[in-house]
Amino acid sequence: MKTSTKLMTTGSISKNIITFAFPIFLGNLFQQLYMLVDTIVLGKYVGSEALAAITSCSPLIFLLVGLFSGIFIGVGVVISKFFGAKNLENVKKAVHTTVAFAILSSIFLTLFGYFFAPKILLLMKTPASVLDDATTYIQIYFLGISSLIMFNSASGILQAMGDSKRPLYFLIISSITNIILDLVFVIYFNLRTEGVALATIISQGISALLAYRILFTTKDIFRVYIKQIKLDIPLLKQFLIIGIPSGIQNSVISIANVFVQSSINIFGPIAMAGNGAMMRIQGFAFIPVTSFALAMTTYTSQNIGAGEFDRVKKGTKFGLISAIILAQSIGLIIYFFSPSLLKIFTSDPAVIEIGILKAKITAFFFIQLAISHTMAGIYRGAGKSIIPMAVMLLFWCLFRVTYITIALKFFYDIRIVFSAYPVTWNLSAIVFIIYYFKGKWLNNTQLKNL
């Protein structure tokens, strides 16, 4: 077996998790940095309205992409289990099914996003003053969405095989390219949101090409052959059984966030810009959370495939504690230094005031956020993806939307919208912990169908 693959079923548990999570952490960090540059360039060189335009598009983009991203999580779980069980023939079939599904997903999202996303922006009550910029940005973004989908599929294959380093290298290259193109398109060519969108899709295209170059040229078991790219229906069903609940989870969270963004939009462009800037800053707290969540999904699924249930339990504790410590440490930094951090984006005191307000309401609750995401990753790796889907649907979507809708009728204050996040993070964390200690989420029946 080639050294580009890595089994996480033997050796030091903490070392396995850290060495897998750290490249993902760095990759997410670089992604967050280039999103940060997008925001800084627009805020500093174009204005608050352009900043409001692209940040208001984020929930909608996550909504449309979330379902397919979740399905690729299911892909990774299935491939990891096959790899852990050393079922190499099914690994090969799963890889080619993944690529075929990615191609079909790209075509659908390109067409749907380009033609329907602008209409959804109207439904989100996007102010007229930012609507043109937002529409331009989102249409260009979806014209290049295939790059993101194809990179995610290739990255998912590599990570399922225990290789999180090469996706990191490609993300670094993509991020640096994005930053350079941002500066060139916006500052030197005077392009507004279209310049940021073009920089994003070009850089994503480069990362996709680099990742697929590996898949087409590797000598390892996950090599892709064009003639073998086809949907294996039984395997696709396994992907969907695990992936659709994860995708629905992503989508319902995004639906809720679209509603939250709509609620923020009614307070005007200043509120949109302040919230958007703080979202970019808080994204750095989400990095260790998502990194350990993904690491725990792969770690859990590989060890279940190998029948190493005791290692799963020990790894769960280590991954969860690590995510909590890192996320809340960043939360404290955000809380105490939010005024200085927000000035990086804008000098508008009204925008800064809104950002500080959000930081004060949310920054002390990143522990609960870390628990929710990391445990959801663990349960997905165990094949229990319906559990996190149900919890997120109940609390992060239905309860969050209901809470905001009712509370705003009595108190017309943006603090009501911001407070919805820590309230729902707390509720989901409590349920996940109860399920961990009382639920039968880890048992020998998970070795079937391997």
216-274 residue pLDDT tens: 999 888 899 999 999 888 888 888 887 777 777 777 777 777 788 889 988 988 998 89
pLDDT at 58: 74
Can you tell me the distance from the alpha carbon of 429 to that of 356, in angstroms, rounded to the nearest whole number?
25
C-alpha R_g of the chain: 21
Q: How far is CA 118 from CA 74, 115, 257, 265, 350, in A?
A: 30, 7, 17, 16, 28
Which contacts (CB < 8 Å, 24+ apart) does range 122-129 have? 123/262, 124/56, 124/60, 124/258, 124/261, 124/262, 124/265, 125/262, 125/265, 125/266, 126/56, 126/265, 127/52, 127/265, 127/268, 127/269, 127/272, 129/49, 129/269
Decide: residue 431, CB within 10 A, 0-12 exposed, 13-18 middle, 19+ buried. Answer: middle
Can you tell me the distance from the alpha carbon of 305 to that of 85, in angstroms, rounded to the nearest whole number?
5
Residue-wise pLDDT tens digits, 358-402: 999 999 999 999 999 999 989 988 888 888 889 988 998 889 999
pLDDT at 249: 72
449: Cβ contacts below 8 Å, ≥ 6 apart: 238
The residue-averaged pLDDT of 300-321 equals 87
Residue-wise pLDDT tens digits, 7-41: 778 888 888 888 888 887 887 787 777 777 777 78
Residue 224: φ, ψ to 5°: -100, 130
The residue-averaged pLDDT of 186-201 equals 88
Which DSSP category does 149 fall into?
Answer: H
How many degrees, rounded to 5, is the angle at CA 72 between CA 383 and CA 24? 95
Can you tell me the distance from the alpha carbon of 243 to that of 276, in angstroms, rounded to the nearest whole number?
29
Is there a contact between 335 and 354 (Cβ–Cβ < 8 Å)? no
pLDDT at 443: 63
Can you tell me the distance from the alpha carbon of 182 to that of 198, in angstroms, rounded to the nearest whole number?
8
Can you tell me the distance from the alpha carbon of 126 to that of 56, in angstroms, rounded to the nearest whole number?
8
pLDDT at 209: 96
Can you tell me the distance from the alpha carbon of 244 to that of 66, in angstroms, rounded to the nearest whole number?
10
Rounded-to-10 torsion of CA 329, 334, 340, 345 = 120
Which DSSP category does 86 fall into?
Answer: T
Residue-wise pLDDT tens digits, 143-182: 999 998 999 899 888 888 878 788 889 988 998 898 899 8
Is there a contact between 51 and 276 (Cβ–Cβ < 8 Å)? yes
* 277 pLDDT higher than 70: yes
Helix (H, G, I), strand (E, B) or coil at 312: helix
Can you read off the two tokens belonging to residue 251?
């989508």
Residue-wise pLDDT tens digits, 40-93: 787 777 777 777 777 777 777 777 777 777 777 777 778 888 887 788 888 899
Can you read off the two tokens belonging to residue 185?
């398109």
Q: What share of the chain is helix, strand, coil (3-state, %, to 5)?
A: 85, 0, 15
Which DSSP category does 185 fall into?
Answer: I
